[in-house]
Structures are given as C-alpha cells and as structure tokens.
C-alpha cells in the first residue's frame, strides 16, 4: 500500500492541522454591531493630507463607527474620479 490513504487510516499525522469540518449549521449573525477596526469605533480619522492634520469621516464605516460588511471604502472616490473624467 502506498503512502496516502493507508498511512492516514493507520493514524499517521495528516498534513492538515484539523479534520474536515462541515457547515451543517448556519453561522448566526452577530448580536452586537462590530466596531470599525480602522477608526477604532470613533467614526473619524486624522488626515495629514495637505500638510496639516484634520479630522475626516472614516471611509470604511462612513462615520458610523460600526463595521459595514461588503463595503467598498474606495467606491466614493472611484465615482468622483469617473465623474471628473467625464466632464474633462
């Protein structure tokens, strides 16, 4: 018998740390909102763009301080850049 199934059946160590786990149960939604890790839940960041520090809304949570799943932080800038290119 070759190395492979026979070796694992005999109790040899697998190359994976854990066995296969199936997702029989749905993952429950978080009961509490998750704070934004970028702004640490404050909703604002300090930007040094332009040479002097200023407070700006966090683009990742849109200033709410709460993590927004599937949110594209660069979408607003992309839309603005496309609008500027269309008018030029």
Is residue 44 included in any domain, yes or no? yes
Is residue 40 included in any domain, yes or no? yes
Q: How many domains does the chain have?
A: 1
Q: Which two tokens stand for residue 76?
A: 């607003």
- pTM for the whole structure: 0.52
Q: Which band of pLDDT confidence, cut at 50, 70 and 90, is reported for residue 81?
A: confident
In sequence order, the β-bridge partners of residue 36 are none
Query: pLDDT tens, 15-45?
Result: 767 766 666 777 666 678 899 999 999 999 9
- 8 A C-beta contact, residue 82 and residue 74: no
Residue 70 has pLDDT above 70, yes or no: yes
Nearest of 50, 51, 68 to residue 60 by alpha carbon: 68
Is residue 1 included in any domain, yes or no? no
Query: pLDDT tens, 50-61?
Result: 899 999 999 999
Is residue 17 included in any domain, yes or no? no
Give the range of the structural domain holding residue 68, as residue numbers without chain letter: 32-88
Average pLDDT, the chain: 79
CA geometry: angle 37, 54, 42, nearest 5 deg: 30
Q: Which CATH number goes with the domain that contains 50?
A: 2.10.230
Is residue 23 included in any domain, yes or no? no
Is residue 75 included in any domain, yes or no? yes
Taking phi over 0 as left and psi of -120 to 50 as alpha, with beta for the rest, 65 belongs to: left
């Amino acid at each position: 018998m070759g190395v492979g199934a026979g070796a694992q059946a005999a109790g040899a160590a697998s190359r994976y740390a854990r066995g296969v786990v199936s997702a029989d149960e749905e993952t429950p939604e978080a009961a509490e909102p998750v704070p934004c890790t970028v702004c640490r839940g404050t909703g604002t960041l300090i930007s040094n763009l332009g040479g002097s520090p200023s407070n700006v809304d966090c683009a990742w949570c849109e200033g709410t301080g709460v993590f927004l799943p599937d949110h594209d932080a660069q979408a607003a800038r992309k839309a603005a850049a496309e609008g500027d290119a269309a008018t030029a």
